Amino acid sequence: MVLSLTTVLAFQLRTVYSDSLTGSGGALTQRIGNFDVELKTIPAKPIAGDNTNVFIRIGNINGDDAVDTPITIKVTKQGKEIHRTNTIVIPYGHYSYRFNFVESGIYAIDILIKDKIYETRSPSPIQTQGILFTFPIDVHSKVFFGFFDFQTTLTVTIAVVIVSSITFYSVKKNKNERKKSYHSSEKTR
């Protein structure tokens, strides 16, 4: 025990920060005022009708996690509100939740941080202000016939029709040329 106490006193304790969501790639990040906010979805390309895990990290610009930060999350599509949470207090900078995007398209996840405003003469906050972070999320449609979305299916279908048409007319033209060559040889006899 004395050795442990000596070790703790001899070596400075370092501040430990929580993991950034950007380390594994695919996270969206924004910095407004004193806040750094990161948002990541799993899967990275959400599929309509399936549950999507949404991970949020809120930190300060100096790298510390924002502690006991009240936020509200709102999901919109084309400006129409689809979902809104009550106020959530983020205890240690990280928050995750599941959301099911009903249909494909571009959604916005708005994170409103309710920050306190302090007066220089008073140690207690006099009011709160909202700092809004908006993250675009592209939700894809479910898989059709082994393809990823409607546009891909449509493109492949059009390509197959064009190739089939070219092949069909090419074969038909070759048959007509063969018939003409047989007919002309019979007439010359």
Supply the CATH number for residue 102's domain. 2.60.40.1930
Task: Give me the pLDDT at residue 1, please.
Answer: 47
Indicate whether 126 and 150 sit together in one domain: no
Task: Give me the pLDDT at residue 4, please.
Answer: 45
Evaluate whether 110 touches 97 at the Cβ level (below 8 Å).
Answer: no
Indicate whether 161 and 110 sit together in one domain: no
Domain residue limits at 187: 144-189
Q: How many domains does the chain have?
A: 2
Task: Give me the pLDDT at residue 124, please.
Answer: 63
- What does each of the 189 residues of the chain score in pLDDT, given as a tens digit? 444 434 333 334 333 344 555 555 578 999 998 899 999 999 999 999 999 999 999 999 888 898 889 999 999 999 999 999 999 999 889 999 999 999 999 999 999 998 776 556 666 656 677 899 999 999 998 876 555 556 677 788 899 999 998 988 888 777 777 666 655 555 554
Instruction: Give the Cβ contact number of residue 66 at 10 Å.
Output: 21
The first and second tokens of residue 131, run together, are 């700092």
| Rounded CA separation 40/90 (Å) | 16
